[in-house]
Structure 1
Amino acid sequence: MASSVGNVADSTEPTKRMLSFQGLAELAHREYQAGDFEAAERHCMQLWRQEPDNTGVLLLLSSIHFQCRRLDRSAHFSTLAIKQNPLLAEAYSNLGNVYKERGQLQEAIEHYRHALRLKPDFIDGYINLAAALVAAGDMEGAVQAYVSALQYNPDLYCVRSDLGNLLKALGRLEEAKVGV
């Protein structure tokens, strides 16, 4: 009888570890959302030590470092996430953000487009692509990126507003009225 109790205790240990991992991951995400990047990073590093291949943790670390303008670290964690899952659109988009911030617009655009090929309904990818295309001077490409985002979710006020402003800047006032 004692051995079966021991087995039950042994079988609950991974469950406890998983619950603590999940709880810590949720805490780190809340801290990130609240702008407490130092605490979020500290908790993410604990998670990363437990599960170095967890792409969710890698993406959050990439985002934390990006917000803190530690672009090399952000790129590092995005690259690790891509190595774990080459089909992870969010990691390519995060890497695109790093390139855009560095002024490497062509590389940023390529990464955003790759992310969108992997996940065609990735709204943030279209928004990021549009911003990079505007920065690169490709206004028509940016219009198309915004239109694509709205095809997936026509209720996005910020995208609709950005599209309207871009169309106004291009002198396409009638389209801007319809687009907004």
Structure 2
Amino acid sequence: MASSVGNVADSTEPTKRMLSFQGLAELAHREYQAGDFEAAERHCMQLWRQEPDNTGVLLLLSSIHFQCRRLDRSAHFSTLAIKQNPLLAEAYSNLGNVYKERGQLQEAIEHYRHALRLKPDFIDGYINLAAALVAAGDMEGAVQAYVSALQYNPHKNPCFGLQRTLGKHFLHFAGHGSIFPCKKLSRCLKW
């Protein structure tokens, strides 16, 4: 009888570890969302030691380090995620964020575009691309990226805080005689 209980306990051990891993991952994500990056990093490092190939953990570590302006560490974890899954659009986008923050706009734009080729409905990718294009002075390209984001999800404005930015771009184009993006953007935003 003791051995059968032992077998039950042995068979539930991976389940307990999985629940523990999942619970810790959820806690780390909540801490990240709440801006408690130290705690989120601490818990993510525990997770990473348990599962060094887990791309979700690698992406969260990349995002945590980016928020803390530890760009080299952010790039490191994005690169590890890409090595684990070369089709992971979010990792390319995170790496693009690092390049953009460093002022390497062309590299950032290339990474965002690569992310969008991998995942054409990646709304955050379009928003990130648009921001990099704005920084590079390509307003028409930026508006097109914003429009693409809106077209993928017209019922939910993915650019929640970006309407003000879009308005500035709208005025910029109107002031420079570029009416095509203005009409296209105003149609998408129903202005």
Show structure 1 runs of 5+ residues with no match.
155-164
Task: Classify the secondary structure of the residue corresponding to 1:35.
Answer: coil
CA-atom RMSD, angstroms? 2.5
**Given that residues 168 and 176 in structure 1 are in contact (C-alpha distance below 8 angstroms), is that contact kept between their aligned partners in structure 2?**
no
Partner of 2:165: 169
How far, CA to CA, are the matches of 2:47 and 2:76 in structure 1? Answer: 17
The verdict on how the C-alpha distance between 1:15 and 1:69 changes in structure 2, with shifts beyond 3 A counting, is: same
**Given that residues 78 and 94 in structure 2 are in contact (C-alpha distance below 8 angstroms), is that contact kept between their aligned partners in structure 1?**
yes
The verdict on how the C-alpha distance between 1:11 and 1:109 changes in structure 2, with shifts beyond 3 A counting, is: same
How far, CA to CA, are the matches of 1:74 and 1:171 in structure 2? Answer: 32
How far, CA to CA, are the matches of 1:170 and 1:47 in structure 2? Answer: 39
Q: Give CA-to-partner distance per residue, 1:126-167, whole Å, 9 cap, x none.
A: 00000000000111110110110011011xxxxxxxxxx999
How far, CA to CA, are the matches of 1:75 and 1:33 in structure 2? Answer: 20
How far, CA to CA, are the matches of 1:177 and 1:13 in structure 2? Answer: 53
Deviating above 3 A after TM superposition, structure 1's stretches of 4 or more consecutive aligned residues are 165-172, 175-180
**Given that residues 78 and 95 in structure 2 are in contact (C-alpha distance below 8 angstroms), is that contact kept between their aligned partners in structure 1?**
yes
**Given that residues 143 and 167 in structure 1 are in contact (C-alpha distance below 8 angstroms), is that contact kept between their aligned partners in structure 2?**
no
Instruction: Compute the displacement of 1:52 (Å).
Output: 0.3
Instruction: Compute the displacement of 1:2 (Å).
Output: 2.9
Task: Classify the secondary structure of the residue corresponding to 2:52.
Answer: coil
Q: Give CA-to-partner distance per residue, 1:80-131, whole Å, 9 cap, x none.
A: 0000000000000000000000000000000000000000000000000000
Show structure 2 runs of 5+ residues with no match.
155-160, 169-185
% same residue: 93
Instruction: Compute the displacement of 1:56 (Å).
Output: 0.3
Matches within 5 A, 1:24-173: 24-154=24-154
**Given that residues 28 and 39 in structure 1 are in contact (C-alpha distance below 8 angstroms), is that contact kept between their aligned partners in structure 2?**
yes
| TM-score (ref. length: structure 1) | 0.87
The verdict on how the C-alpha distance between 1:142 and 1:21 changes in structure 2, with shifts beyond 3 A counting, is: same
Partner of 1:157: none
**Given that residues 28 and 43 in structure 1 are in contact (C-alpha distance below 8 angstroms), is that contact kept between their aligned partners in structure 2?**
yes
How far, CA to CA, are the matches of 1:91 and 1:43 in structure 2? Answer: 20
Instruction: Compute the displacement of 1:5 (Å).
Output: 1.9
The verdict on how the C-alpha distance between 1:134 and 1:166 changes in structure 2, with shifts beyond 3 A counting, is: farther
The number of equivalent residue pairs is 168
The verdict on how the C-alpha distance between 1:16 and 1:128 changes in structure 2, with shifts beyond 3 A counting, is: same
Q: Give CA-to-partner distance per residue, 1:2-35, whole Å, 9 cap, x none.
A: 3222211100000000001000000000000000
